[in-house]
Amino acid sequence: MNQTIKTSRAAQASREGAATQVEHLTVEERIERGKAARGEVPRSAHAAWEPRKDRPSPVELLEEQARTRVPELVPIRYGRMLVSPFTFYRGAAYLMASDLSGLPRTTLRTQLCGDAHLSNFGAFAAPDRRLVFSINDFDETLPGPFEWDVKRLVTSFEVAGRDRGFDDRERARINETASRTYREAMAGFAGESNLHLWYTRIDLEEMLAQASSAVTAKQLKRAEKTAGKARTKDSLKAFSKLTELVDGEPRIVSDPPTIMAVEDVFPDGAEMFEELLRVILRSYRRSLPGDRRHLLERYRYVHAARKVVGVGSVGTRAWIMLLLGRDADDPLFLQFKEAEASVLEPFVGDSAFGNHGQRVVEGQRLTQAASDIMLGWTRTDAVEGVKRDFYVRQLWDAKGSALVDVLEPKVMDYYAKICGAELARAHARAGDAIAIAGYLGKTRAFDRAVALFADSYADQNERDYETLKVAVDNGEIKAETGV
Residue 380 lies in a domain: yes
Whether residues 186 and 317 fall in one domain: no
The span from the CA of 233 to the CA of 421, in Å, is 26
Residue 355 lies in a domain: yes
Whether residues 246 and 185 fall in one domain: no
Q: What are the strands of the beta sheet with 121-125, ordered from one edge?
A: 121-125, 131-135, 202-203
**pLDDT (0 to 100) of residue 223:** 79
Domain boundary among 394, 427, 459: 394
Whether residues 386 and 432 fall in one domain: no
- For residue 248, the enclosing domain spans 235-394
- For the cut 70, the answer to whether the pLDDT of residue 413 exceeds it is yes
Whether residues 266 and 195 fall in one domain: no
Whether residues 58 and 203 fall in one domain: yes
Question: Which one has a higher pLDDT value, 393 or 218?
Answer: 393
**pLDDT (0 to 100) of residue 441:** 97
Residue 4 lies in a domain: no
Tens digits of residue pLDDT in 97-114: 999 999 999 999 999 999
* DSSP 8-state code for residue 44: G
Whether residues 303 and 206 fall in one domain: no
Which residues, other chains included, contact 131 with Cβ-Cβ below 8 Å and sequence gap of 6+?
123, 124, 125, 203, 204, 205, 227, 230, 231, 398
Residue 189 lies in a domain: yes
Question: How many domains does one find in the chain?
Answer: 2
pLDDT tier at 19 (50, 70, 90 boundaries)?
A: very low
Whether residues 290 and 353 fall in one domain: yes
> Length of the chain, please?
483
Domain boundary among 371, 394, 417: 394
Tens digits of residue pLDDT in 138-180: 999 999 999 999 999 999 999 999 999 999 999 999 999 999 9
Whether residues 190 and 315 fall in one domain: no
Whether residues 441 and 340 fall in one domain: no
Domain boundary among 394, 414, 447: 394
- For the cut 80, the answer to whether the pLDDT of residue 214 exceeds it is no
Whether residues 455 and 380 fall in one domain: no
Tens digits of residue pLDDT in 380-394: 986 667 899 999 999
Contact 278, 301 (CB under 8 A): yes
Whether residues 357 and 445 fall in one domain: no
- For the cut 60, the answer to whether the pLDDT of residue 4 exceeds it is no
Average pLDDT over residues 291-309: 95
Residue 344 lies in a domain: yes
pTM comes to 0.92
Q: What is the mean pLDDT of the chain?
A: 92
Tens digits of residue pLDDT in 28-61: 999 999 999 999 999 999 999 999 999 999 999 9
**pLDDT (0 to 100) of residue 1:** 45
Alpha helices in 137-216 (DSSP H): 146-163, 168-190, 194-199, 204-211
Residue 8 lies in a domain: no
